[in-house]
Amino acid sequence: MPVFITRLFLVVSLSLTANALASAQDDSELRRHGHALLESHCSRCHAIERSGESPHREAPPFRTIGQRYPVESLQEALAEGLSTGHPDMPEFVFDVQEINALLAYLKSIQAPRVGPRERKANQ
């Protein structure tokens, strides 16, 4: 019986590890697709990486979106047509797969939130 339990544990462990690796690979693919979408639709005005300035001075860097509101809250706006932002921003509408990719990438590049203490220290 102990050999059976050991084998069962090994099979379950390998299965869980394989699922975790597949999930990480899926997340990586989602982030790559999100990056490609932002690069083709948004990088003309917005900084889409973890560093760098936005080419359009009124367009916020995407890494700072999470400091204003939860990134997940963009889901509905992206599906219905995102038309707010800087004054000359075009309207974009994305499908569900594109939205999932965009949100995965945006979450991956968010700058840490800066609290009141850190703001005072940086002034």
Task: Output the domain CATH number for residue 53.
Answer: 1.10.760.10
pTM of the model as a whole = 0.70
What would the pLDDT profile of 9-57 be if each residue is shown by its tens digit?
A: 444 444 444 444 345 458 999 999 999 999 999 999 999 999 999 999 9
How close are the terminal C-alpha atoms of the chain, in Å?
A: 67
Which helix (H) or strand (E) element contains residue 22? helix 2-41
Whole-angstrom distance, CA of residue 3 vs CA of residue 41: 57
The answer to whether residue 17 sits within a structural domain is yes
- Position of tokens 């509905």? 76
Q: Is residue 26 part of a domain?
A: yes
DSSP H or E run through 97: helix 96-109
The residue segments making up the domain with residue 68 are 2-112
Rounded alpha-carbon distances, angstroms, from residue 67 to 44, 52, 58: 22, 17, 16
